[in-house]
Amino acid sequence: MSEAFISVKNLSKGFTTSKGVVQAVRDVSFDIPRGSITGLVGESGSGKTTLGRAMLRLIEPSAGSISFDGIDLLDLDERQMRKMRKRMQIIFQDPYSSLNPRMRVLEILSEALIAHDIGANSTERKAICISLLEEVGLAAEHINRFPHEFSGGQRQRIGIARALAVEPDFLVADESVSALDVSVQAQILNLLRDLCTKRNLTMLFIAHDLSVVEYLCDQIIVLYLGRPVEIGSAEQVYQRSAHPYTQALLSAAPIPDPSKKRSRVVLKGDIPSPYNPPSGCAFRSRCQYAIADCGTELPVAVEVANRHFSFCKRTEIII
Amino acid sequence: MSEREVILAISGLQTEFKSRGGSVRAVRDLNFNIAAGQTLALVGESGSGKSVTSLAIMGLLPQAGYIAAGSVLYKNRRGEQLDLVNQSAAQMRQIRGAEIAMIFQEPMTSLNPLFSIGDQIGEMLLLHTDLDATARAAKVIEMLELVEIPAAASRYHDYPHELSGGMRQRVMIAMAMILKPALLIADEPTTALDVTIQAQILDLMRRLQKELNMAILFITHDMGVVAEMADEVAVMYAGEIVEQAPVQQLFMRPSHPYTQGLLKSIPGAGGITRSEDGRLQAIPGSIPMLNAMPKGCSFGPRCAGFVSGCQDSVELAVTEPLHWVRCSEIGVNAHV
Instruction: Tell me the residue type at B302.
Output: R
Give residue-wise pLDDT tens across range A193-236: 999 999 999 999 999 888 888 889 999 999 999 999 999 999 99
Indicate yes or no: CB of A255 within 8 angstroms of CB of B203: no
User: Side by side, which strands form the sheet with A20-33?
Assistant: A20-33, A4-17, A63-68, A71-72
Q: What's residue B272's pLDDT? A: 44
Residue B156 and residue B144 in contact, taking contact as beta carbons nearer than 8 Å: yes
What residues in B contact A270, CB-CB < 8 Å?
164, 166-167, 197
* Mean pLDDT (10-residue bins), chain B, 336 residues: 80 93 90 96 91 93 94 93 94 93 84 94 94 95 91 92 89 93 94 87 92 95 93 96 96 94 75 59 84 90 90 90 91 46
Indicate yes or no: CB of A186 within 8 angstroms of CB of B265: yes
A215: domain CATH number is 3.40.50.300
Cα separation of B213 and A145, whole Å?
53
Averaged pLDDT for residues A263-281: 84
| Number of domains chain A is built from | 1
The domain in which residue A104 lies consists of: 4-318
Q: What's residue A34's pLDDT? A: 94
Complete DSSP assignment for A29-92: EEEEETT-EEEEE--TTSSHHHHHHHHTTSS--SEEEEEETTEEGGG--HHHHHHHGGGEEEE-
Averaged pLDDT for residues A248-264: 82
Q: What's residue A312's pLDDT? A: 95
| Å between A117 CA and nearest CA of chain B | 34
Nearest chain A residue to B254 by CA distance is A257
Averaged pLDDT for residues A66-90: 94
- Residue A261 clears pLDDT 70, i.e. is over it: no
Q: What's residue A284's pLDDT? A: 94
- Residue A260 clears pLDDT 80, i.e. is over it: no
Q: What's residue B85's pLDDT? A: 95
Give residue-wise pLDDT tens across range A108-132: 999 999 999 999 999 999 999 999 9
Q: What's residue B1's pLDDT? A: 42
Q: What's residue A1's pLDDT? A: 47
Minimum mean pLDDT range among A70-74, A311-315, B196-200: B196-200
Cα separation of A236 and A158, whole Å?
34
Residue A183 and residue B265 in contact, taking contact as beta carbons nearer than 8 Å: yes
Q: Is B24 within 8 Å of chain A by CB? A: no
Phi, psi angles (nearest 5°) of residue B113? -70, -15
CB count in 10 Å sphere of residue B44 = 26
| Chain A contact probe: residue of B194, B249, B262 with most A CBs at under 10 A | B194
| Chain A contact probe: residue of B108, B286, B290 with most A CBs at under 10 A | B286
Taking phi over 0 as left and psi of -120 to 50 as alpha, with beta for the rest, B268 belongs to left
Alpha carbon of A245 to those of A5, A49, A229, B93: distances in Å? 28, 19, 8, 45
Q: What's residue B270's pLDDT? A: 44
Instruction: Tell me the residue type at B205.
Output: M
Indicate yes or no: CB of A270 within 8 angstroms of CB of B166: yes
